[in-house]
A and B are shown apart, each in its own frame.
Chain A
Amino acid sequence: MNDHLLDIRDLKLAFKSYTGLIEVLHGISLNIRRGEKVALVGESGSGKSVTARIILGLLQEFSTARISGSVSFEGEDLEMQPLSVRQALRGTKISMIFQDPTSSLNPVYTIGVQFQEVLRRGNTQISATDAEARAIALLQDVSIPEPERVLASYPFQLSGGMNQRVMIAMALANEPSLLIADEPGTALDVTVQAQTLHLMRDLVERRGTSVLFISHNLGVVREFADRVYVIYKGRLVEHGQTSELFHSPRHPYTKALMAAVPRITGGGIPDIAEATDAYLDPLIDHEAEAAS
């Protein structure tokens, strides 16, 4: 089992507050192999976004956060590493794409300036002309028609879809081995979202980049991911290959989640009961069952 690029074991997270300790993650274990696209799907408050933040080492800086468990990246336990090492990983070996592309970019700098900064993180010696050539090539990769014009533009001069492509290009600029995509494209129109997701999928497949894809949208997950973890209230409830999970969901929560999505083939508004304790049933792991 050493082909895991990312291996999270029994990760627990709690926040200290005036009402006591609030548990957010109750011990989740997940892994991503090289070149694999893995989705973590759940509703708001399920703990999916904080998981991403822990991988990036962003929550560790909070004095109220209590974290236990291990996060290994390329075989190294990140929790053992000093903060500077973790920070150096960000934007180079591990990069991230956020939900709203326009607000993730700095409005007072041109795309070109921001791109150069991203490239400098990966290679401090890169010259301005090399950086520009590289940026143009990367923007062409994400099917941006006039890369020179885009580099000279400010984020607000570009459409949301264009900014999202710029974000993807930047995220892949330093050839990361892991890309964390937190609800990418949710702020965009459906047609634009569909296009950018296809584009992103093609790119990461071609480069062999691993992806942790965080989403609440089952449809998007089905189209993008190879493997899916379903998370509910800080617990993983079901795990399996995408097609298997979508064809035969077995956990009560996953079943309810799938039933709740209105179908474009009709069938009426789904009839969903109140949340039950069955949603907290233990993890159903299709993969582990297949292996044994």
Chain B
Amino acid sequence: MKRTFYILLSNPLSVIGLVLVGTVVFSAVFADFIAPFPSHRGAVVDFTNFNQAPHWPNIFGTDLVGRDVFSRILYAYRISLLLGVVVLAIAVPIGVTVGLAAGYLGGWAEFVLMRLTDVFLSIPPLVLAMAIMGLLEPTLTNGMLAVTTMWWPWYARLVYNVTRSEAQEGYVLAAEIIGASRIHVMFREILPNCVPSIVTKMTLDLGFVILIASSLSFLGLGVQAPTPDLGSMVAEGGNYLPDSWWLTVFPSLAILIAVFGFNLLGDALRQILGSDQ
């Protein structure tokens, strides 16, 4: 614990990362209490106060139907984080299992699983997601499905590489000589040693999932109105640049802060978890 703080605090960038991520998570979780206009996350119309530049109490201004941009960003964070968590919660177990099996079992299992992984990796992620979203209705669930489909292969690759090197370690041989099952060796012996790399990548990825989800919404394929989403806010606001700059700038900054924060924190975690305690 002491060592963790030491590493974290000795690098100012990781402190910034921690603060940024803390802010994003805090705003998402407590949006109901922080947001000055909680009702503005839905289909509210206020034509007396529309398209206003930042002023009190609408510190980030208001959008074309008079909703508070600041409140909508807080709720958009909530959706983005939820999306990120759900995507990773599905993609990571799939990718990890595929990677462990391919790396430890070798032979046919390795050939089939890794070629499948390569096929997914060779398609540009956004194109794959767009294809899926094109086939299905653009709902939040399908958005998650699309992003998940393109995300698990990265974990398969990562875990495969770690597994291949861990399988050479003496503790794996020791478990085999004792007579432990393959399932035990994969999930109880090797997996704990993959956890640091997985956790680091997950932290980095939360930022990227938010980015990709925003990209999809930007293209009109993600979360649908009136649910607030950073990507669609940027897209809509883009039509009114440069006059109504607050419609684009604040959601863009929000994306930047989230992605940047998770990246910095991921790098810090890599350092902390990288070497053994």
B6: interface (CB < 8 Å): yes
Which residues of the other chain, B, contact A19 by a CB distance below 8 angstroms? 2
B3: interface (CB < 8 Å): yes
For chain A, residues 204 to 229, give those with C-beta under 8 angstroms from any C-beta of chain B.
none
A272 CA to B265 CA, complexed, in Å: 49
Which residues of the other chain, A, contact B7 by a CB distance below 8 angstroms? 18
A128 CA to B169 CA, complexed, in Å: 45
Q: Is the interface of B mostly helix, strand, loop or mixed?
A: helix
Q: Is the interface of A mostly helix, strand, loop or mixed?
A: loop
A11 CA to B3 CA, complexed, in Å: 28
Which residues of the other chain, B, contact A18 by a CB distance below 8 angstroms? 2-3, 5-7
Interface string of B144-182 (1 = CB under 8 A from A): 000000000000000000000000000000000000000
Count residues of A near B (Cβ-Cβ below 8 Å). 3
For chain A, residues 16 to 70, give those with C-beta under 8 angstroms from any C-beta of chain B.
17-19
Interface string of B1-38 (1 = CB under 8 A from A): 01101110000000000000000000000000000000
Which residues of the other chain, B, contact A17 by a CB distance below 8 angstroms? 6
* A17 to B, closest residue via Cβ: B6
* B4 to A, closest residue via Cβ: A18
* B7 to A, closest residue via Cβ: A18
A18 CA to B6 CA, complexed, in Å: 6
Closest chain-B Cβ to A62's Cβ sits at a distance in Å of 14
* A19 to B, closest residue via Cβ: B2
A18 CA to B7 CA, complexed, in Å: 8
A18 CA to B272 CA, complexed, in Å: 13
* B10 to A, closest residue via Cβ: A18
Which residues of the other chain, A, contact B6 by a CB distance below 8 angstroms? 17-18
* A18 to B, closest residue via Cβ: B6
A17 CA to B5 CA, complexed, in Å: 12
* B5 to A, closest residue via Cβ: A18
Which residues of the other chain, A, contact B3 by a CB distance below 8 angstroms? 18
Closest chain-B Cβ to A22's Cβ sits at a distance in Å of 13
Closest chain-A Cβ to B7's Cβ sits at a distance in Å of 8
Closest chain-B Cβ to A246's Cβ sits at a distance in Å of 36
Closest chain-A Cβ to B78's Cβ sits at a distance in Å of 36
A sample of 7 inter-chain contacts (CB < 8 A) reads: A17-B6, A18-B2, A18-B3, A18-B5, A18-B6, A18-B7, A19-B2
B contact residues vs A (CB 8 Å cutoff): 2-3, 5-7
Top 6 closest pairs, chain A to chain B, by CB: A18-B6, A18-B3, A18-B2, A19-B2, A18-B5, A17-B6
